[in-house]
C-alpha cells in the first residue's frame, strides 16, 4: 500500500511555499509572492493554513513604516515535507 500524501502539502501553492522555505533561513511575504506568482489574498490564506498546522512560523512586524511578514519553516514542517517527498517517490517508482 502506498503512503498517503499529506493533503496540506498536496496543494500547489502550499507546496511551493514549503519548497521555498526548505532552502532558506526565512522569507518575507513579498519574496514568496514574487516566487510563487500568487495573489496577496491567496498567499495570505495558504500561509495561515501552514502556520495553523505548525509547518511554518510567521512573524509580523514593521520595517520603518511598512508592514513585514516573515515566514520560517519549523522542524515539524521539515519532517512533513520529507515524508511528502518520500511518499511521492513511492508513487513514481510503482
Dig out the grid coordinates for 75 from the structure: 522542524
46 φ, ψ (degrees, to nearest 5): -70, -35
| pLDDT value of position 94 | 84
Domains of the chain: 12-92 (1.10.10.10)
Average pLDDT, the chain: 96
Average of per-residue pLDDT across 35-54: 98
Which pTM was predicted? 0.93
Q: Could you give the CA distance from residue 83 to residue 20 in angstroms, rounded to a whole number?
A: 16
- C-alpha of 90 from chain center: 22
Per residue in 50-88, pLDDT tens? 999 999 999 999 989 999 999 999 999 999 999 999 999
The DSSP code sequence of 21-52 is HTTSS-EEHHHHHHHH---HHHHHHHHHHHHH
Amino acid at each position: 500500500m502506498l503512503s498517503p500524501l499529506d493533503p496540506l502539502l498536496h496543494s500547489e501553492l502550499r507546496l511551493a511555499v514549503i519548497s521555498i522555505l526548505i532552502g532558506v533561513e526565512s522569507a518575507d511575504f513579498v519574496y514568496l509572492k514574487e516566487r510563487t506568482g500568487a495573489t496577496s489574498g491567496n498567499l495570505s490564506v495558504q500561509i495561515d493554513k501552514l502556520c495553523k498546522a505548525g509547518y511554518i512560523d510567521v512573524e509580523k512586524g514593521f520595517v520603518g513604516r511598512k508592514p513585514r511578514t516573515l515566514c520560517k519553516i519549523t522542524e515539524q514542517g521539515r519532517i512533513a515535507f520529507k515524508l511528502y517527498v518520500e511518499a511521492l517517490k513511492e508513487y513514481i517508482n510503482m
